[in-house]
Amino acid sequence: MNRVSWMTLVVLLSAESSFSWDVNELTVIVDTIRREYRIQEQFCLAANIPLDTQDRNTLSNVLQHDRYENNVDRTLNSGVAYVGTNVVIATRASDIHAEPQVLLEENMETLINNHVGNRLLIYSYLSPCVGRCTNPFDKKFNILKDIRNNVIPYWPNRVAFVFTTVCDDKRCGRVRGHEKPTKDELRESLSELGGTGIGLENIFRCYKPPNLGFECHSCSSNGAVSDVCVQNNFVPGQQSQQRPKQRGRSRSRSRSRDSGRSYRPEKRGRSRSSSSDSGRRYRSEKRGRNRSSSSDNGRRYRSEKRGRNRSSSTKRVGKKSRSSHSRG
């Protein structure tokens, strides 16, 4: 191998080891694939995507040998999986789901031979069913063993598993056709899938929420399975918009209670102070009235006493003068 080839290989290997999926770029890739392969039923697809894919035009060039209207449609209608240059696609065949058909070693061989410089996208319209695809006890149809054997050794840390609709009806339950899978079973199913080496952070749901555009969301939220990947009617941002409102109402209520508590003591304080002030004023006014009345009574008493004394002295003087006249 010449020097240029060695340098190219080193660059590719370093890019592979440091690769991580960008959600915005993944959204463009998945949307382009869905527009190209307009299949109106459950299907699964595995595609080699170059690490340097930048836009829809680059991806379109990757898919140019695997056009839906040329070969893919006709092959799928015949009841077998389509194995192309960069794409493997399958729909359900009798009792075999689409995912295990795609991930068979014989169908993945062409993609494996061209894995260098590429990342692998596994897309399924429905999330893996609980009863078979991610059931480790189903030795025949579970895809966990196929991913460990036919995917991870060739695309380590470069695999994304993407789905659009949560498989939550009776066909997807633990016992097919009897009961719908529970939310806990759906979470466990995705955890099993992430445990194959893909990693929960590399499992995504790409779909179009009501009144929003097509977008992708990771199924990992702080290391746990996110709600968007187990609820078909999940609207991004809905819960985060409701919770602050509830907290706001409780805060306003607490503020009103606090303000009410702070108001009542002040009111009591004002009433107490006003009553004490009025009491003081009343007592002082009463004392003043008592003092003024007593002083008035004293004045009247003294003036009356002087008047009596004067009248008595006049009477005595008169008696004396009469007696003196009579003696004379």
User: What DSSP line would sit under 160-189, residue for residue?
Assistant: EEEEEE---SGGGSSSTTT-PPPHHHHHHH
Is residue 311 one of the residues assigned to a domain?
no
Domain range for residue 267? 245-290
| Residue 137 within a domain | yes
Claim to verify: residue 8 and residue 72 sit in the same structural domain: yes
Claim to verify: residue 231 and residue 249 sit in the same structural domain? no
User: Who has greater pLDDT, 176 or 100?
Assistant: 100
Residue 316, in any domain of the structure: no
Separation CA 262–CA 256 (nearest Å): 10
41-45, 152-156, 307-311: the lowest-pLDDT one: 307-311
What is the predicted pLDDT for the residue at 178?
74
Alpha-helix residue ranges (DSSP H) falling in the chain: 3-17, 23-36, 56-62, 73-77, 98-102, 105-113, 144-150, 183-193, 238-327
* Two tokens, residue 273: 């102070």
Quickly state the pLDDT bin for 239 (edges 50, 70, 90).
low
Average pLDDT, the chain: 77
Any domain includes 77? yes
Instruction: Say if strands 82-83 and 118-126 run parallel, antiparallel, or are unpaired.
Output: unpaired
Residue 315 lies in a domain: no
Do 34 and 61 share a structural domain? yes
pTM comes to 0.68
Residues 77 and 129 in one domain: yes
User: Does the pLDDT at position 212 exceed 70?
Assistant: yes
Which residue among 236, 270, 299 closes a domain?
A: 236
**224, 250: one domain:** no
* CB contact set of 47 (below 8 Å; sequence gap of 6+): 33, 62, 63, 86, 87, 88, 111, 120, 121, 123
Q: Pairing between strand 87-91 and 82-83?
A: antiparallel
Q: Kindly state whether residues 213 and 255 are assigned to the same domain.
A: no
Query: Does residue 66 share a domain with residue 128?
Result: yes
Tell me how many domains the chain contains: 2
Task: Note whether 229 and 264 are same-domain residues.
Answer: no
Residue 304 lies in a domain: no
- Do 99 and 218 sit in the same domain of this protein? yes
DSSP one-letter code for 127: P
Residue 204 shares a structural domain with residue 58: yes
Both 174 and 222 in one domain: the answer is yes
